[in-house]
């Protein structure tokens, strides 16, 4: 039972989840440590969306193996309503956090574009998968959620699309393969292309569930290589990601 099920009042945070495999990871622990009420909204199971006018609520949009381009497919018709909700919260200046697919939906709702990630020469569609690094383009004095972070931090990457940000967005971090790794829209909406919610068990489940995806991105030995990378970097990635997510939650739950 999640925290919100223990109270009849509206939750402080709603997690929009799109499929079983891509769950909230470290978020429940971080939320409960802060005494925040929360619930999961399983869009793929027909759960009703929270009301657009609940501007006090933090909306966290999780990842998924589908893409924004799939929103017209019969299995993903709920995505159109979700994009409308994100757009309404953005227009009201309400707090929103998007993770991977969630970041892409945030950018799309704000007027940006989502397109396949191209890598190599000549460029070809190639996913960015595994333990990597992002370079922050600001520091904690400029962006409070970045307090305590280094200029370069290890992260876990698992995506085949990228965003083209709208002109009014602020780019905050890039990787070697993908320019748009973190961004802010307005004062209270953040998008992270990497998976800051990742835990070691969650990463291992994804690898076990989608070895072909890993191999297409990393080559025939991609699964073995990624598991070795997680042994070396997984604990640090999780710790640094928790610091960032905690900072973001602390920032987003403060009334504007």
**Domain limits, the chain:** 3-252
Poorest-pLDDT segment among 2-6, 47-51, 106-110: 2-6
How many H-runs (helices) and E-runs (strands) does the chain carry?
Answer: 6, 13
Section 172-195 average pLDDT: 98
- Going 162 to 246 to 20 to 85, the CA torsion angle's sign is negative
Q: Class assignment of domain 3-252?
A: alpha beta
Q: Are 247 and 146 in contact (CB under 8 A)?
A: yes
In sequence order, the 6+-apart residues with CB closer than 8 A to the CB of 247 are 144, 145, 146, 147, 148
Confidence of residue 83 (pLDDT cuts 50, 70, 90): very high
In sequence order, the 6+-apart residues with CB closer than 8 A to the CB of 220 are none
Q: Are 101 and 62 in contact (CB under 8 A)?
A: yes
The pLDDT of residue 1: 40
Task: Report pTM.
Answer: 0.95
First-last CA distance in the chain: 30
Q: How far apart are the C-alpha atoms of 195 and 222, rounded to whole Å?
A: 19
Pick 3 or 178 by higher pLDDT: 178
Neighbours of 168 (CB within 10 A): 10
Residue 29, pLDDT above cutoff 90: yes
The pLDDT of residue 9: 62
Percent of the chain at pLDDT above 90? Answer: 95
Percent of the chain at pLDDT above 70? Answer: 96
Helices (H), 174-221: 200-209, 211-218
């Amino acid at each position: 039972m999640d925290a919100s099920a223990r109270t009849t009042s509206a939750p402080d945070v709603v997690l929009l989840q799109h499929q079983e495999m891509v769950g909230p990871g470290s978020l429940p622990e971080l939320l409960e440590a802060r005494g925040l009420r929360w619930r999961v909204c399983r869009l793929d199971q027909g759960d009703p969306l929270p009301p657009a006018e609940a501007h006090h609520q933090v909306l966290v949009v999780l990842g998924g193996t589908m893409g924004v381009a799939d929103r017209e497919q019969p299995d993903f018709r709920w995505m159109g309503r979700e994009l409308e909700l994100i757009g309404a919260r953005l227009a009201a200046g309400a707090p929103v956090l998007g993770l991977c697919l969630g970041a892409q939906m945030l950018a799309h709702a704000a007027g940006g574009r989502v397109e396949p990630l191209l890598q190599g020469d000549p460029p070809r569609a190639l996913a960015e998968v595994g333990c990597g690094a992002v370079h922050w383009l600001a520091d904690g004095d400029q962006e409070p959620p970045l307090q305590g972070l280094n200029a370069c931090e290890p992260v876990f990457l698992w995506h085949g699309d990228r965003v083209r940000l709208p002109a009014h967005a602020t780019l905050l971090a890039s990787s070697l393969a993908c320019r748009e790794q973190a961004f802010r829209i307005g004062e209270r909406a953040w998008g992270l292309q990497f998976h800051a919610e990742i835990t070691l068990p969650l990463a291992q489940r994804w690898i076990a569930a989608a070895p072909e995806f890993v191999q297409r991105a990393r080559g025939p030995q991609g699964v073995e290589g990624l598991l070795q990378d997680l042994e070396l970097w997984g604990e640090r990635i999780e710790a640094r990601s928790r610091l960032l997510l905690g900072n973001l939650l602390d920032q987003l739950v403060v009334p504007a």
